[in-house]
A and B are shown apart, each in its own frame.
Chain A
């Protein structure tokens, strides 16, 4: 009963959040001075043409009316038509989404790997010079945002030591006969190292730039949590059984130290996804973020709207997954 009420409440707040996001974007982008319709017509177009197209996109109606029409469409899976490319917004967005998802997930994997290693190393050598060095490194990694890391990585591994690609998602001359837009997953599943190596060479630096701040957060919080756990009685008891430091950290402390880290990583992962917007621009990576910035520059209202909503949906979905994971990993919640 309590569970059902919690789930309902959760769905309600999620709905309120998404509607709130939609309303705000809707209002903000319609304050845009200048008529986007006029921009998309050829120079010789008449006023009549402008009016006709304005009506076609529903921009002649009142704001609430426009919103209801738009929201009605969304409920049927219709996010409107892009003004610049004249294609359905949903199709455009879904086309680019896999690229951004792959980038974000790769960044998350890198962040968890680096952060995990850092936290475990720091815990093993706690209260030593190594831990102090790790703290300083974490502090710096944390205070520099992904945008700057991206630029630094471009300089280091794109120019000074050109081992990675710094532009695009894949080398266009490769045989690109993908069925889905999940290039990386697909090429790995199909066992095509020529493709996935090229993809990773393009994705590595942007995903590393996204990963560095998050890895520092994971490193810091997980290390702290591990250190606190290492003092607990059951960890000490396990030592008396004959287990060494590695086993004690990994098997006794880690499972309990992960929980407090998890919630935080969830929130931070949404920040990371938000960061793809500028990182994709920086690395000319053809994902959702790059599409979004183009849409803003071209005043493509329906497209902007669709993309922002999609981001909001992704963020809420990530939070939901984290909460579920938390429940699954916590034995106290799992067994009544």
Chain B
């Protein structure tokens, strides 16, 4: 047994490092985009449209990863796109976590009619097709960073609420909570001082996973042309463009897709890795 656990922990450790490494690199690239991007991500070069990446014949060495149909530099657009991806991940993830976890905590700890109400709301939400719902919301609010974050919070708060509610219920049933109550602590005090610290690891794991989901949702919205305004480079927007010219210029789709893939994978592996770390059975 000891060996098996060692292997799992070593593997989890490697996974954490790889995922964290990619995300750190990405964050750095996003921050430094204005300085390290070789070209203006919006600058069009009508004579240099659909130039392949430099290792393919017919490339222009000025454009490392080639250009799209309007002659914009793919590498620069990916670097600038990382900014939006990460901003959305951080803001939308955190906002969703705050709202979802609060509702879940209230439902799971207070029980009674609060729980009834929130549980019913969760049921209703689970009956919505999430992608369609987010598209609908953006269509209503109009594109922009704020609306995207709002849409993500609105469609995804149940992820946190469901899990935190269940955890809070389980914790609430334990002896230490009863003894805290006996010791004269109020309901809200007990919730914040006794229950919350115990569900924080779960929230952190979910938050990490939610960041990956946010990146995807943003890409999906960009893909259907409903994200941030069109003059900002986003990975989803690049993918939408790449999809239409897939037979003429594969690189326009492939590079942002790789960036998106690695980022989403990293967030989820980070989350899973953290889950293993927090799980007392594996520790």
| Residue count of chain A within 8 Å CB distance of chain B | 52
Q: Mark A14-29 against chain B: 1 for CB-CB distance below 8 A, else 0.
A: 0011101100110011
Q: How many A-B residue pairs have CB under 8 A?
A: 130
- Complex contacts, A282 vs chain B, CB 8 Å: 223, 243
- Complex contacts, A322 vs chain B, CB 8 Å: none
B260 smallest CB distance to A (angstroms): 6
- Complex contacts, B123 vs chain A, CB 8 Å: 13, 16-17, 20
Distance, CA A293 to CA B221, complexed state (A): 11
The reply to whether A151 and B253 contact each other, CB–CB distance below 8 Å, is: yes
Q: Mark B1-22 against chain A: 1 for CB-CB distance below 8 A, else 0.
A: 0001001000000000000000
Q: Does A275 contact B (CB under 8 A)?
A: yes
Q: Does A289 contact B (CB under 8 A)?
A: yes
The reply to whether B220 and A152 contact each other, CB–CB distance below 8 Å, is: no
The reply to whether B224 and A281 contact each other, CB–CB distance below 8 Å, is: yes
CB-CB under 8 A for A21 and B128, given A13-B123, A31-B140, A152-B261: yes
CB-CB under 8 A for A292 and B127, given A145-B264, A151-B257, A155-B246: no
Looking at A29, A147, A282, the one whose CB has the most chain B CB atoms below 10 A away is: A147
CB-CB under 8 A for A17 and B257, given A139-B272, A151-B239, A278-B131: no
The reply to whether B140 and A308 contact each other, CB–CB distance below 8 Å, is: no
Q: Does A187 contact B (CB under 8 A)?
A: no
Interface of A (DSSP majority class):
helix
The reply to whether B268 and A148 contact each other, CB–CB distance below 8 Å, is: no
Of A17, A127, A307, which is within 8 A of B124 by CB?
A: A17
CB-CB under 8 A for A277 and B129, given A21-B124, A24-B124, A296-B139: yes
Distance, CA A145 to CA B215, complexed state (A): 11
Looking at B247, B250, B261, the one whose CB has the most chain A CB atoms below 10 A away is: B261
- Complex contacts, B239 vs chain A, CB 8 Å: 151
CB-CB under 8 A for A21 and B257, given A28-B136, A143-B269, A278-B220: no
Counting contact residues on chain B (CB < 8 A from A), the size range is 35 or more
Q: Does B28 contact A (CB under 8 A)?
A: no
B142 smallest CB distance to A (angstroms): 7
Q: Does B182 contact A (CB under 8 A)?
A: no
Chain B residues with CB under 8 Å of chain A are 4, 7, 120-121, 123-124, 126-133, 135-137, 139-140, 142, 212-213, 216, 219-220, 223-224, 239, 243, 246-247, 250, 253-254, 257, 260-261, 264-265, 267-269, 272
Write 27 A-B pairs (CB below 8 A) sorted by A numbering.
Answer: A17-B127, A18-B127, A20-B121, A21-B128, A24-B128, A25-B136, A32-B139, A142-B268, A143-B265, A144-B265, A148-B261, A151-B257, A152-B257, A155-B246, A155-B257, A267-B126, A274-B128, A277-B129, A278-B131, A281-B224, A282-B243, A292-B135, A293-B135, A296-B135, A297-B224, A311-B127, A311-B132
